[in-house]
Chain A
């Protein structure tokens, strides 16, 4: 089954404790991205990756890191989480812009609370 998986689905942590949210896709997609969603603000892109070892900042990259060492995985790293990073996070993958027909597949989301 074609899917994007994220782990963990729920996480409560404390300020300053490094954490990683994993994202994996099984569709051989080149493009992957991370979004955060906050009430009234829609989806805001954090980082995206056009392919392995190619990553770039989205709209709200501050406080986040990513890596793309393999095509299928795109982890989101919070080196020192703060309460303003409490949010619902989504990972997505697609063939990529410029591919003609292009559909982003989203993971189930990770609800993060930073105390």
Chain B
């Protein structure tokens, strides 16, 4: 099981690019890295998932270096509506459970 570590909080301003890094030093060979977004009183919502190198979708990019001991979620040009808690999660091939950490609370200011 990949135990993950993220910053507790981050602040940004509208229009800026935000990068949130997650450490997962003991990630297993078959673990995927997944990021979720959660707004207050709502369930988490899937953002992006990757195994290595770079993955991009319409919402974000995910960078995973060759050693896979960390990953970085990149949100281009954030807006006020991106204020939320972001979780990284290691999901493994042989893991029978998937655990969330405390997440990173991103606050986007005008």
Contacts and interface: CB of A to CB of B under 8 A. Distances in A.
A91 B30 CA distance: 25
A97 B98 contact: yes
A97 B92 CA distance: 6
Contacts of B41: 88, 109, 111
A56 B43 contact: no
Interface in B77-110: 85, 87, 91-103
A48 interface: yes
Interface string B57-81: 0000000000000000000000000
Contacts of B54: none
B42 A109 contact: yes
Interface in A61-91: 88, 90
A104 interface: yes
Given A98-B94, A103-B34, A43 B87 contact: yes
B43 A106 contact: yes
Contacts of A58: 97, 99
16 contacts: A42-B100, A42-B101, A45-B97, A45-B99, A90-B44, A92-B44, A97-B95, A101-B32, A102-B32, A102-B34, A102-B91, A104-B44, A105-B46, A107-B43, A109-B41, A109-B43
Given A42-B101, A50-B96, 11 more contacts: A42-B103, A43-B44, A44-B100, A56-B96, A92-B43, A97-B91, A102-B32, A102-B34, A104-B44, A106-B45, A109-B42
Interface of A: 4, 33, 35, 40-45, 48, 50, 56, 58-59, 88, 90, 92, 97-98, 100-109, 111
